[in-house]
Structure 1
């Protein structure tokens, strides 16, 4: 088996992502292709090697179990060598004169982290995956030691898929939370930033501008009862001029301001409508935040 074939495939995929127009349908198709590629590599049965088993025994058992389920990214071969690193980690893989060159596995016994990757002159280059001691998993294409390309991050609370640029999630991406909330849209420096769509776990939907992970700018909130607000948002809440429609033909136009909830688990979303003539109206929505 050619250890570099997977790297070349991922480089081609990453280049294709950059070149294509990143509309929502294109992004979904590309993400599906990348997911299939990652899943296919996880189904491989790499050659067993007692040396790596011995090294893995230095890692906490729960992290070792996660790694055993995933398996190494690249096939282990008898020419792999053990190189002890200055930071206390142990490298098991291809190398020349103490430098990491080629495929291998790096283990941090004290921290409990495990890194699978391909190296060029001690820098990550190609498809790599880190399993962290807190059970987070990050797999991405690396260039010159930094994440640059399509990647997938998984934690106990969410899964994020998208394009990483210089170690930061930037551009089109997707986030799926374990509680059912989904996000499709743009990221910048690891945060939701730009145009996007949020599907909340209670059936409501937001579509519009976001800044630093919060609804901010022009957007539309559609509630599960088919009513909607189209207008301005600030720092994650409705605030500014807009239009509210009850869904049965009744509508309001003017200034709206949502009460900021200290307890985000409250089920009542309260919005105050202010008409130009000074009259006020309170709109309440039952939510499952």
Structure 2
């Protein structure tokens, strides 16, 4: 599922229609915090900008009865800097990241996808600090479900995940060696499967000899029987 389709499927929650009695106000708190925007029944409601003095962070976007709700941008002021840096932009619900949004962990690392109550949950893409990329399903801030992990060296894993680890059926391509492992994983460890030549001609450091053929009458039956034991552990 693409992120474009996700945005169409889960648009930011809409605010209630504003009455003509609502006014734009700037309010300063004793601790130095500042809010400029719309109000309803003495609560932040509508469009507004909140500045937190102590943390040096800003939220600019939609509010609903005192909490960020709808679409908004959260920015921070790094220590020693005079320019704000966007940390998150996207959908909010009841003061939490909820829906489709993008979070920047650093200049090199970010997540774009679905959120549920501040946790990465649903479909999303994560680019890590070392340039590795994961695209797939998440649950409770961990890779969980079906997904593909692309390593910066060209290797990749495609298959099932559980609580942040490879678990279930999957494929791991050693593109540098020109080999492909297909099998079952449990808690991040390959337990049972087959290893075959895959792209040896393009491999940067291929093995000295191709993998020999296994002389079993019914190799698939043997592998399936062995894998069923480990699948029960996933």
Name the TM tier (shorter chain).
Answer: 0.5 to 0.7
CA contact (8 A) 1:243 1:252 kept: no
Q: 1:87 to 1:173 in 2, by over 3 A?
A: farther
Is 1:149–2:99 an aligned residue pair? yes
Taking the TM superposition and a 5 Å limit, the aligned residue runs for 1:96-245 are 96=40, 98-133=42-77, 135=85, 137-156=87-106, 157-224=108-175, 225-238=177-190, 240-245=191-196
Q: Secondary structure at the match of 1:125?
A: strand
| Change in 2 beyond 3 A, CA 1:189/1:233 | same
Q: Is 1:250 the counterpart of 2:201 in the alignment? A: no
Q: Which residue of 1 aligns with 2:35?
A: 91
TM-score, normalised to structure 2, is 0.68
Tell me, which stretches of 5 or more residues in structure 1 are unaligned? 1-22, 35-78, 254-289
Q: Would you say the 8 A contact 1:147–1:167 is kept in 2? A: yes
Higher strand share: 2
RMSD between aligned residues: 2.8
1:81 Cα deviation (Å)?
Answer: 2.3
How far is the alpha carbon of 1:226 from its aligned partner? 2.6
Unmatched 5+ stretches in structure 2: 10-22, 79-84, 201-209, 215-234
Structure-2 separation of matches of 1:168 and 1:188: 8
Question: Structure 2 CA distance, aligned partners of 1:101 and 1:177?
Answer: 36
| Distance in 2 (alpha carbons) for counterparts of 1:172 and 1:86 | 42
Equivalent runs, 1:60-79 vs 2, <5 Å: none
After the TM superposition, which residues 5-84 of structure 1 pair with which residues of structure 2 at under 5 Å, given as runs?
23=1, 27-30=2-5, 80-84=24-28
Q: Under a length normalisation based on structure 1, what TM-score does the superposition of the two structures give?
A: 0.56
Judged with a 3 Å threshold, the aligned counterparts in structure 2 of structure 1 residues 190 and 92 are, in CA distance, closer, same or farther, namely same
- Structure 1: distance between partners of 2:130 and 2:8: 25
Q: How far apart are the structure 2 equivalents of 1:228 and 1:31?
A: 32
Distance (Å, rounded) in 2 between the aligned partners of 1:234 and 1:174: 23
* Number of residues of Structure 1 aligned to a counterpart in Structure 2: 184
- Structure with more contact order per residue of length (Cα contacts < 8 Å, sep ≥ 6): 2
